[in-house]
Amino acid sequence: MSGAVVGVILAGGLARRMGGGDKCLLPLGERPLLWHVIERARPQVAALALNANGDPARFASFGLPVVADGIEGFAGPLAGVLAGMDWALAQVPEADWLVTFASDTPFFPLDLVARLRAAVDANRAELACASSGGRRHPVFGLWPLALRDALERAMREEGIRKIDLFTADHRLAIVDWPVEPFDPFFNVNRPEDLDEARRLLARAF
């Protein structure tokens, strides 16, 4: 599979279950949650951006380009995928692939991109996404930039908002990870999840 892989961290959601605001800025250990995500994502990609809406200045200390959704109304993670594709096509001409990371999942695998890429080749697939414990994690996906126009049409003309609805029309490889000693795709949705993440950080890292 040729072409560079670039990444975008999806932080465009409303975080209602955490009381609103930017949950990726909540502290985990001595650093914000987002810092842990960046630390794991950056070595796996040729370039990295952050998808977030509102004033980008609040993320200035992380040193990443911030790209907002082009489709208005908090249209979900697919809007972030499309924004990431637009950034990649404009800023990283050697890129053919975009990998997406969730901003609330601080322990995702360090071999995520390598395994997603290998799965696309092995299965002659168009895209790939992660799974663990019998559950898919579509936000952790590998996307060909060649699907950019198809994704925009699906969102604007068909009203598609769920990743699974879009990928159902394409050849998708699923890559599974073990959940022992813990699920690497554990994510922080609620305050008690942040407490669990702190326990995991102290125990495993």
Residue 175's CATH number: 3.90.550.10
Please tell me the predicted confidence (pLDDT) of residue 47.
98
pLDDT reported for residue 62: 97
Could you tell me how many helices (H) and strands (E) the chain has, helices first?
Answer: 6, 9
The range of the structural domain enclosing residue 14 comes to 4-204
pLDDT number for residue 72: 85
Low-confidence ranges of the chain (pLDDT < 50): 1, 16-19
Quote the pLDDT of residue 1: 47
**Three state DSSP letters for 70-81:** CCCCCCCHHHHH
Between the two ends of the chain, the Cα-to-Cα distance in Å is 33
For residue 17, the model assigns a pLDDT of 46
- Please state whether the peptide bond connecting residue 138 to the residue before it is cis, i.e. omega within 30 degrees of 0: no
Pairing of strands 135-144, 127-132: antiparallel
Write down the pLDDT at residue 21. Answer: 73
Q: Hunting for tokens 């969102």 — which residue is that?
A: 155
Half-sphere exposure of 130 (CA within 13 A, CB side): 26
Residue 66, strand partner residues: 50
What pLDDT, on a 0 to 100 scale, did the predictor assign at position 204?
63
* Res 3: pLDDT: 82
* pLDDT at site 19: 47
* Structural contact between residues 67 and 84, judged by C-beta atoms closer than 8 angstroms: yes
Note the pLDDT of residue 73: 80
Query: Based on the structure, what is the number of domains in the chain?
Result: 1
Q: Tens digits of per-residue pLDDT, 10-30? A: 997 655 444 457 899 999 999
